[in-house]
Amino acid sequence: MARRIAAGAAYGGGGIGLLGAAGVGVLLAEVQLAKRSVGGGIAPVPPRGDGWYGLAFGHTEPLRMGMLGDSTAAGQGVRRAGQTPGALLASGLAAVAERPVDLRNVALPGARSDDLERQVTQLLSATSHPPDVCVIMIGANDVTHRMPATESVRCLAAAVRRLRTTGAEVVVGTCPDLGTIEPVYQPLRWLARRVSRQLAAAQTIVAVEQGGRTVSLGDLLGPEFAANPRELFGPDNYHPSAEGYATASMAVLPTLCAALGLWPETDHLDATRDEDMLPVAKAASVAAAQSGTEVTGVRAPWALLKHRRRRHVLPTADARAGAAEKEESVERDAGHSPSKQ
Protein backbone atom coordinates (compact mmCIF):
# COMPACT_ATOMS: atom_id res chain seq x y z
CA MET A 1 0.00 0.00 0.00
CA ALA A 2 2.82 2.42 0.84
CA ARG A 3 4.44 1.76 -2.54
CA ARG A 4 1.11 2.28 -4.30
CA ILE A 5 0.64 5.61 -2.51
CA ALA A 6 4.15 6.74 -3.42
CA ALA A 7 3.70 5.64 -7.02
CA GLY A 8 0.38 7.44 -7.20
CA ALA A 9 2.04 10.62 -5.99
CA ALA A 10 4.87 10.29 -8.51
CA TYR A 11 2.61 9.65 -11.47
CA GLY A 12 -0.21 11.99 -10.58
CA GLY A 13 -2.66 9.49 -9.15
CA GLY A 14 -5.16 10.87 -6.69
CA GLY A 15 -7.54 8.07 -5.96
CA ILE A 16 -5.59 6.06 -3.42
CA GLY A 17 -6.83 6.89 0.06
CA LEU A 18 -5.73 5.64 3.43
CA LEU A 19 -9.08 5.05 5.04
CA GLY A 20 -10.99 3.64 2.09
CA ALA A 21 -14.72 3.07 2.47
CA ALA A 22 -14.80 0.04 4.74
CA GLY A 23 -16.03 0.71 8.23
CA VAL A 24 -16.08 4.50 7.98
CA GLY A 25 -19.76 4.79 8.85
CA VAL A 26 -19.40 2.48 11.84
CA LEU A 27 -16.54 4.57 13.20
CA LEU A 28 -18.31 7.95 13.11
CA ALA A 29 -19.60 7.56 16.66
CA GLU A 30 -16.09 6.69 17.86
CA VAL A 31 -14.72 9.79 16.15
CA GLN A 32 -17.21 12.00 17.97
CA LEU A 33 -16.27 10.43 21.32
CA ALA A 34 -12.60 10.98 20.61
CA LYS A 35 -13.20 14.63 19.72
CA ARG A 36 -14.83 15.19 23.09
CA SER A 37 -11.81 13.82 24.91
CA VAL A 38 -8.86 14.88 22.78
CA GLY A 39 -8.04 18.52 23.15
CA GLY A 40 -10.02 18.77 26.38
CA GLY A 41 -7.25 20.84 27.91
CA ILE A 42 -5.73 23.99 26.50
CA ALA A 43 -2.46 23.69 24.62
CA PRO A 44 -0.33 26.83 25.04
CA VAL A 45 0.66 28.70 21.91
CA PRO A 46 4.11 27.34 21.02
CA PRO A 47 6.91 29.71 22.05
CA ARG A 48 9.27 31.10 19.46
CA GLY A 49 12.58 29.30 19.36
CA ASP A 50 14.44 31.13 16.60
CA GLY A 51 17.99 32.24 17.30
CA TRP A 52 21.51 31.06 18.00
CA TYR A 53 22.34 28.06 20.16
CA GLY A 54 25.72 27.02 21.54
CA LEU A 55 27.23 30.48 22.01
CA ALA A 56 29.78 28.92 24.37
CA PHE A 57 31.51 27.67 21.22
CA GLY A 58 32.08 31.23 20.08
CA HIS A 59 30.57 33.43 17.41
CA THR A 60 32.06 31.60 14.46
CA GLU A 61 30.09 30.80 11.32
CA PRO A 62 27.07 28.83 12.58
CA LEU A 63 25.42 25.76 11.21
CA ARG A 64 22.04 26.80 9.83
CA MET A 65 19.07 24.64 10.72
CA GLY A 66 15.47 24.87 9.55
CA MET A 67 12.45 23.34 11.29
CA LEU A 68 9.27 22.76 9.28
CA GLY A 69 5.98 20.97 9.83
CA ASP A 70 2.96 21.03 12.09
CA SER A 71 2.28 21.59 15.80
CA THR A 72 4.71 18.84 16.78
CA ALA A 73 7.55 20.60 14.96
CA ALA A 74 6.45 23.94 16.42
CA GLY A 75 6.41 22.53 19.95
CA GLN A 76 2.79 23.15 20.82
CA GLY A 77 1.99 21.95 24.32
CA VAL A 78 4.97 23.44 26.16
CA ARG A 79 5.48 26.94 27.55
CA ARG A 80 9.24 27.43 27.23
CA ALA A 81 11.22 27.78 24.04
CA GLY A 82 13.98 25.54 25.40
CA GLN A 83 11.48 22.66 25.62
CA THR A 84 10.48 22.69 21.94
CA PRO A 85 11.97 20.05 19.63
CA GLY A 86 13.63 22.72 17.48
CA ALA A 87 15.48 24.17 20.46
CA LEU A 88 16.41 20.73 21.80
CA LEU A 89 17.74 19.59 18.43
CA ALA A 90 19.62 22.85 17.81
CA SER A 91 21.23 22.65 21.26
CA GLY A 92 22.16 19.01 20.75
CA LEU A 93 23.56 19.69 17.28
CA ALA A 94 25.65 22.57 18.63
CA ALA A 95 27.06 20.35 21.38
CA VAL A 96 28.00 17.58 18.93
CA ALA A 97 29.43 19.92 16.27
CA GLU A 98 31.03 22.25 18.83
CA ARG A 99 29.74 25.12 16.72
CA PRO A 100 26.86 27.53 17.20
CA VAL A 101 23.62 26.69 15.43
CA ASP A 102 21.27 29.28 13.93
CA LEU A 103 17.71 27.93 14.13
CA ARG A 104 14.80 29.10 12.01
CA ASN A 105 11.47 27.46 12.85
CA VAL A 106 8.66 28.04 10.33
CA ALA A 107 6.42 25.18 11.49
CA LEU A 108 2.74 26.01 11.88
CA PRO A 109 0.30 24.33 14.30
CA GLY A 110 -2.50 22.70 12.35
CA ALA A 111 -0.46 22.53 9.14
CA ARG A 112 -0.88 19.72 6.65
CA SER A 113 1.61 18.66 4.03
CA ASP A 114 0.14 21.08 1.49
CA ASP A 115 1.49 23.93 3.65
CA LEU A 116 5.09 22.79 3.20
CA GLU A 117 5.55 24.74 -0.03
CA ARG A 118 4.74 27.99 1.81
CA GLN A 119 7.00 27.03 4.71
CA VAL A 120 9.93 26.23 2.43
CA THR A 121 9.49 29.58 0.68
CA GLN A 122 9.38 31.38 4.03
CA LEU A 123 12.49 29.58 5.27
CA LEU A 124 14.55 30.22 2.15
CA SER A 125 13.53 33.88 1.95
CA ALA A 126 14.33 34.53 5.62
CA THR A 127 18.08 34.55 5.05
CA SER A 128 20.59 34.97 2.27
CA HIS A 129 22.26 31.71 3.30
CA PRO A 130 20.46 28.42 2.62
CA PRO A 131 20.11 26.04 5.58
CA ASP A 132 22.67 23.32 6.13
CA VAL A 133 20.07 20.90 7.42
CA CYS A 134 16.29 20.85 7.80
CA VAL A 135 13.98 18.76 9.95
CA ILE A 136 10.39 18.17 8.83
CA MET A 137 7.72 16.72 11.13
CA ILE A 138 4.37 16.38 9.35
CA GLY A 139 1.49 13.98 8.78
CA ALA A 140 -0.84 13.85 11.77
CA ASN A 141 -3.20 16.52 10.43
CA ASP A 142 -3.18 14.84 7.02
CA VAL A 143 -4.71 11.80 8.69
CA THR A 144 -7.19 13.60 10.94
CA HIS A 145 -8.39 15.81 8.08
CA ARG A 146 -8.50 12.87 5.64
CA MET A 147 -6.15 14.46 3.14
CA PRO A 148 -5.64 12.09 0.17
CA ALA A 149 -2.50 10.10 0.80
CA THR A 150 -1.10 10.61 -2.68
CA GLU A 151 -1.48 14.39 -2.33
CA SER A 152 0.12 14.30 1.10
CA VAL A 153 3.28 12.49 0.01
CA ARG A 154 3.45 14.45 -3.25
CA CYS A 155 3.69 17.68 -1.23
CA LEU A 156 6.32 16.19 1.05
CA ALA A 157 8.38 14.94 -1.88
CA ALA A 158 8.30 18.39 -3.49
CA ALA A 159 9.45 20.04 -0.25
CA VAL A 160 12.32 17.59 0.25
CA ARG A 161 13.39 17.95 -3.38
CA ARG A 162 13.32 21.74 -3.20
CA LEU A 163 15.40 21.82 -0.01
CA ARG A 164 17.88 19.29 -1.36
CA THR A 165 18.30 21.44 -4.46
CA THR A 166 19.65 24.23 -2.24
CA GLY A 167 22.23 21.82 -0.83
CA ALA A 168 20.48 21.26 2.50
CA GLU A 169 20.37 17.87 4.16
CA VAL A 170 16.82 16.85 5.06
CA VAL A 171 15.56 14.66 7.91
CA VAL A 172 11.87 13.78 7.96
CA GLY A 173 10.16 12.68 11.15
CA THR A 174 7.35 10.59 9.68
CA CYS A 175 3.69 10.58 10.72
CA PRO A 176 3.29 9.69 14.40
CA ASP A 177 1.12 6.79 15.50
CA LEU A 178 -2.23 8.38 16.30
CA GLY A 179 -3.33 5.11 17.85
CA THR A 180 -1.27 5.99 20.94
CA ILE A 181 -3.58 8.88 21.86
CA GLU A 182 -5.15 7.69 25.08
CA PRO A 183 -8.77 8.92 24.63
CA VAL A 184 -9.14 7.14 21.26
CA TYR A 185 -11.05 3.90 21.66
CA GLN A 186 -11.29 0.71 19.64
CA PRO A 187 -11.86 0.12 16.79
CA LEU A 188 -10.83 3.69 15.93
CA ARG A 189 -7.52 3.19 17.74
CA TRP A 190 -6.66 0.22 15.51
CA LEU A 191 -7.63 2.10 12.37
CA ALA A 192 -5.69 5.21 13.43
CA ARG A 193 -2.58 3.09 13.96
CA ARG A 194 -2.97 1.37 10.58
CA VAL A 195 -3.55 4.63 8.72
CA SER A 196 -0.67 6.40 10.46
CA ARG A 197 1.78 3.61 9.65
CA GLN A 198 0.69 3.48 6.01
CA LEU A 199 1.30 7.19 5.63
CA ALA A 200 4.62 7.00 7.51
CA ALA A 201 5.85 4.24 5.20
CA ALA A 202 4.79 6.18 2.09
CA GLN A 203 6.51 9.32 3.44
CA THR A 204 9.68 7.30 3.95
CA ILE A 205 9.68 6.06 0.36
CA VAL A 206 9.28 9.49 -1.24
CA ALA A 207 11.66 11.27 1.17
CA VAL A 208 14.45 8.74 0.63
CA GLU A 209 13.91 8.78 -3.12
CA GLN A 210 14.41 12.56 -3.05
CA GLY A 211 17.69 12.26 -1.14
CA GLY A 212 16.44 12.76 2.40
CA ARG A 213 16.61 10.61 5.52
CA THR A 214 13.71 9.58 7.70
CA VAL A 215 13.17 8.71 11.34
CA SER A 216 10.04 6.81 12.29
CA LEU A 217 8.18 8.74 14.99
CA GLY A 218 5.75 5.88 15.45
CA ASP A 219 4.30 6.16 18.94
CA LEU A 220 6.21 9.44 19.17
CA LEU A 221 9.57 7.76 19.26
CA GLY A 222 9.66 4.97 21.73
CA PRO A 223 7.62 2.72 23.99
CA GLU A 224 7.67 5.49 26.60
CA PHE A 225 4.46 6.95 25.18
CA ALA A 226 2.58 3.67 25.35
CA ALA A 227 3.89 2.96 28.86
CA ASN A 228 3.51 6.48 30.29
CA PRO A 229 0.83 8.32 28.33
CA ARG A 230 -0.18 10.57 31.21
CA GLU A 231 3.42 11.66 31.71
CA LEU A 232 4.36 12.09 28.08
CA PHE A 233 1.24 13.77 26.71
CA GLY A 234 0.47 17.41 27.36
CA PRO A 235 -2.56 18.99 29.05
CA ASP A 236 -4.76 18.72 25.94
CA ASN A 237 -4.24 14.92 25.78
CA TYR A 238 -2.99 15.26 22.19
CA HIS A 239 0.28 17.17 21.98
CA PRO A 240 3.39 15.90 23.76
CA SER A 241 4.58 17.29 27.06
CA ALA A 242 8.11 18.58 27.60
CA GLU A 243 9.23 15.04 28.45
CA GLY A 244 7.57 13.76 25.30
CA TYR A 245 9.38 16.25 23.08
CA ALA A 246 12.67 15.37 24.76
CA THR A 247 12.04 11.71 23.97
CA ALA A 248 11.29 12.55 20.34
CA SER A 249 14.34 14.79 19.99
CA MET A 250 16.61 12.17 21.51
CA ALA A 251 15.69 9.79 18.69
CA VAL A 252 15.96 12.36 15.87
CA LEU A 253 19.28 13.91 16.99
CA PRO A 254 21.57 11.03 15.86
CA THR A 255 20.15 11.12 12.33
CA LEU A 256 20.31 14.91 12.24
CA CYS A 257 24.01 14.82 13.15
CA ALA A 258 24.75 11.88 10.86
CA ALA A 259 23.29 13.79 7.91
CA LEU A 260 26.05 16.36 8.43
CA GLY A 261 28.76 13.74 9.00
CA LEU A 262 29.02 14.58 12.70
CA TRP A 263 27.87 11.36 14.34
CA PRO A 264 30.52 8.84 15.45
CA GLU A 265 28.56 5.92 13.97
CA THR A 266 28.98 5.40 10.26
CA ASP A 267 26.30 4.89 7.64
CA HIS A 268 27.48 1.33 7.13
CA LEU A 269 25.50 -1.75 8.06
CA ASP A 270 25.87 -2.96 11.65
CA ALA A 271 24.34 -6.41 11.82
CA THR A 272 24.82 -6.53 15.60
CA ARG A 273 22.17 -3.81 15.94
CA ASP A 274 19.58 -5.59 13.81
CA GLU A 275 20.28 -3.29 10.88
CA ASP A 276 19.73 -4.35 7.30
CA MET A 277 19.94 -3.37 3.64
CA LEU A 278 16.48 -3.67 2.11
CA PRO A 279 14.49 -2.46 -0.87
CA VAL A 280 13.24 0.99 0.08
CA ALA A 281 9.57 -0.06 0.25
CA LYS A 282 10.39 -2.95 2.58
CA ALA A 283 12.63 -0.73 4.71
CA ALA A 284 9.83 1.82 4.93
CA SER A 285 7.36 -0.81 6.10
CA VAL A 286 9.73 -2.13 8.76
CA ALA A 287 10.57 1.39 9.98
CA ALA A 288 6.92 2.38 10.28
CA ALA A 289 6.43 -0.44 12.76
CA GLN A 290 9.63 0.26 14.76
CA SER A 291 9.78 3.69 16.36
CA GLY A 292 13.07 5.57 16.12
CA THR A 293 14.27 3.66 13.05
CA GLU A 294 16.25 5.60 10.46
CA VAL A 295 16.01 4.90 6.73
CA THR A 296 18.76 6.22 4.47
CA GLY A 297 18.95 5.77 0.73
CA VAL A 298 22.02 3.94 -0.56
CA ARG A 299 21.48 3.18 -4.22
CA ALA A 300 18.07 2.67 -5.82
CA PRO A 301 16.16 0.64 -4.99
CA TRP A 302 18.13 -0.16 -1.82
CA ALA A 303 17.97 1.63 1.52
CA LEU A 304 19.80 1.21 4.81
CA LEU A 305 17.78 0.50 7.93
CA LYS A 306 19.62 1.99 10.93
CA HIS A 307 19.09 1.81 14.70
CA ARG A 308 21.45 4.47 15.98
CA ARG A 309 22.39 4.72 19.62
CA ARG A 310 20.47 7.50 21.26
CA ARG A 311 22.03 10.15 23.44
CA HIS A 312 20.24 12.31 25.94
CA VAL A 313 19.39 15.80 24.81
CA LEU A 314 19.69 18.81 27.08
CA PRO A 315 17.51 18.74 30.20
CA THR A 316 14.07 20.16 29.50
CA ALA A 317 13.85 21.44 33.06
CA ASP A 318 16.25 24.18 32.04
CA ALA A 319 14.21 26.78 30.18
CA ARG A 320 17.27 28.44 28.71
CA ALA A 321 17.99 27.98 25.02
CA GLY A 322 20.95 25.61 25.30
CA ALA A 323 22.94 24.37 28.27
CA ALA A 324 26.15 25.44 26.56
CA GLU A 325 25.07 29.06 26.64
CA LYS A 326 25.88 31.39 29.49
CA GLU A 327 24.09 30.87 32.79
CA GLU A 328 22.56 34.34 32.60
CA SER A 329 20.60 33.42 29.44
CA VAL A 330 17.12 34.88 29.38
CA GLU A 331 14.13 32.67 28.63
CA ARG A 332 12.99 33.28 25.08
CA ASP A 333 9.35 32.94 25.93
CA ALA A 334 9.75 36.29 27.66
CA GLY A 335 10.48 37.77 24.27
CA HIS A 336 14.27 37.52 24.08
CA SER A 337 16.29 35.87 21.33
CA PRO A 338 19.27 33.66 22.25
CA SER A 339 21.28 35.44 19.55
CA LYS A 340 21.30 38.50 21.81
CA GLN A 341 22.41 36.74 24.98
CA 174, CA 136: separation in Å to the nearest integer? 8
The CA distances from residue 60 to 203, 204, 265, in Å, are: 36, 35, 26
> For residue 291, which phi and psi values (nearest 5 degrees)?
-60, 140
Closest to 243 measured CA to CA, from 312, 316, 334, 325: 316
With 0-12 CB in 10 A as exposed, 13-18 as middle and 19+ as buried, what is 149?
buried
Q: Which of 50, 71, 152, 249 is catalytic?
A: 71
Please give the Cα distance from 339 to 194 (Å, whole number). Answer: 43
Residue 113 annotated among the catalytic residues of the structure? no
CA distance 317 to 321: 11
CA distance 196 to 275: 23
Q: Of the residues 70, 152, 177, 239, which is catalytic?
A: 239
Query: Exposed, middle or buried, 226 (CB in 10 Å: 0-12/13-18/19+)?
Result: middle
C-alpha triplet 67, 83, 255: angle, nearest 5°: 45
DSSP assignment string, 158-183:
HHHHHHHHTT-EEEEEPPP-GGG-TT
Distance CA 320, CA 337 (A): 11
User: Contact, 230 vs 180, CB < 8 A?
Assistant: no
- 236 included as an active-site residue: yes
Alpha carbon distance, N-terminus to C-terminus of the chain: 50
Specify whether 216 is catalytic: no
Strands 302-306 and 276-279: antiparallel
Q: Residue 58 in contact with residue 64, Cβ under 8 Å?
A: no
CB 30 within 8 A of CB 230: no
Q: Which residues are catalytic?
A: 71, 236, 239
